[in-house]
Amino acid sequence: MFQISDKVLYPMLGVGIIEAIEEREVLGKNKLFYKLNMPQNNMQIIIPIEKATTLGIRQIVEPDILENILTDFHIGNTDPSIYEDRRYCRDLNKSKIKTGDIYKGTEIIRDLMRKNQRKQLGAEDKTMLNSARRMFISEVMQVKGIAQEQADLLLDEVLLIFKQETVLTQC
């Protein structure tokens, strides 16, 4: 169970802060709810505590884990089917982003960046890339305690290094 002021990631929306734990009556039964403030989206969300795990809500990662992710961003193989089969690519990435797993989110960014180097991304892939990027940046902001612009720049630097390494390995 999360506590008030915990920073959590809500899949597909980004990082939120638990503002309160409230008891509400639903269909004659009292249930506990998390009240999440989503600062990046200017939203408040009420979630039944019993469904938090099912929804993929999790604590944000520790700083050392984030550093490892940023350092090892380029490591990993891309499923070759994403280059040819748009439906497969879409379904694979949707299933990854819905988990809220930071590793799967960075896989989406990495793989779509690789795909973009081969051919221009379609609208659906661009939207998915932007969603994964937004979710990742919201977590970077909270873990490192930096502004969105700084988190954007940090990811751009990692992607630039990644792009340069990819070009070198193709030569």
pLDDT (0 to 100) of residue 165: 59
- pLDDT, the chain, mean: 90
Q: In the CATH hierarchy, which top-level class contains the domain 63-170?
A: mainly alpha
> Who wins on pLDDT, 160 or 16?
16
Question: Which tens digit of pLDDT belongs to each residue from 27-47?
Answer: 999 999 999 999 888 899 999
The answer on pLDDT for 143 being more than 80 is yes
The answer on pLDDT for 164 being more than 80 is no
| pTM score of the predicted model | 0.86
Report the number of secondary-structure helices (H) and strands (E) in the chain.
6, 5
pLDDT (0 to 100) of residue 168: 44
Question: Which tens digit of pLDDT belongs to each residue from 50-69?
Answer: 999 999 999 999 999 999 99
Is the Cβ–Cβ distance between 114 and 93 less than 8 Å?
Answer: no
In 3-154, DSSP assigns E strands to 7-10, 14-26, 29-38, 43-48, 58-59
The answer on pLDDT for 135 being more than 90 is yes
Domain residue ranges of the chain, discontinuous segments joined by +: 7-59, 63-170
> Who wins on pLDDT, 43 or 170?
43
Is the Cβ–Cβ distance between 135 and 97 less than 8 Å?
Answer: yes
Assigned fold of 7-59: Thrombin, subunit H (2.40.10)
